Amino acid sequence: MRRPQICSTFPSGRHGTLVVSCALLLLAGPALGTAYADPPEAGPGGSPEGGRPGLEQIRKDIERLHDRAESATDAYNAAEAAAKRQQKHLVSLAKRIDTTQGRLDRLNDTAGAMARAQYRNGGMPPGAKLVLADDPEDFLRGLSLAHKGQQATRAFIGTLTKARSSLRGDAEDAAEQWTKLEKTRKKKAAAKKRITAQLAKAERIESGLKKEERERLRRLEEDAAKARQAKWLDSGALKGAGGTASPAGRRAIAWASKQIGKDYVWGAEGPDTFDCSGLTMRAWEAAGESIPRTSQEQWKRLPHVPVNKMRPGDLIIYKRDASHVGIYVGDGALLHAPRTGRQITVEGAGSMPILGVVRPDK
């Protein structure tokens, strides 16, 4: 017999703040009398007779494949973010190159006009003409004009040289950025290949199961999550916790709560589908805070807080490689986008291995 799972969003507390309350009996762990689905009888090596893995082993295999896909998704998202930055820089460089080239063309035209004017005057430098002048006043007046002309010429040559140097530098920078972009695109393609390969393996395993086996597999996944949650709560991890959400944290939770039920899609950041870090990024963006795109960067760049000091709205980072993230909503519960084939939901915050907690608005 499966336990009911009821999630709701409602205002509570003295200040009428928005919280997510989830009547998840999974937060308390398995209850007495819960019917667990047993895998087929295993033979040597953990496989049932005939060499086929039991459902519990299948569950672990599928979980491992999705973990790998999620790690690759973080790599894909990082490459996507880098590619966007590099493309933006390239566009900026292209505009600068175009502007500088236009300026250089005009300067070259001016230089040509100056050369033609000197040719029309017999090619004699202005200084030589002054020395040969008959009238002393004309000589002095011309000397002043010649000095100004020399200054203008030096300034012109300096401007021309600077424009050429700037154009050359921007062209070299653009070539370097293009090389980086090509490398980033290759990383992105490689990550996508790894993601699709892992998900295809998981899909092949599940598609090979009968309908009743898939149902039992889902119950095994839920029971494993409940057991991990119960163990986490029993460890006293939340002892001393009980902080209230900040105004921004409440806004992030309110926005994320409206996404419950939407599909997880790797690499997605809304508005109709999300991956785990796409959801947390958008939730905190709606709260007025800009945070990194990937869970790994969120872990690296956001302030860390102890687990027993976390408050609703904080982000919980999961797994050793920081490849999963969700929003803590209080009472030991997490709102997150789980994985491919699942929808955004609320479940036990301890149902996965926690790496740590970060606070976007500290």
Active-site annotation, residues: 276, 324, 336
Q: What angle do CA 236, 332, 285 make, to 5 degrees?
A: 130
**Rounded CA separation 286/255 (Å):** 7
Residue 211 one-letter amino acid: K
- Find the radius of gyration of the CA atoms of the chain: 33
- Inter-residue contact 298 to 325 (CB < 8 Å): yes
Q: What angle do CA 303, 240, 224 make, to 5 degrees?
A: 85
Q: What angle do CA 182, 339, 288 make, to 5 degrees?
A: 75
- Inter-residue contact 37 to 216 (CB < 8 Å): yes
CA 141 to the chain's CA centroid:
68
- Inter-residue contact 328 to 318 (CB < 8 Å): no
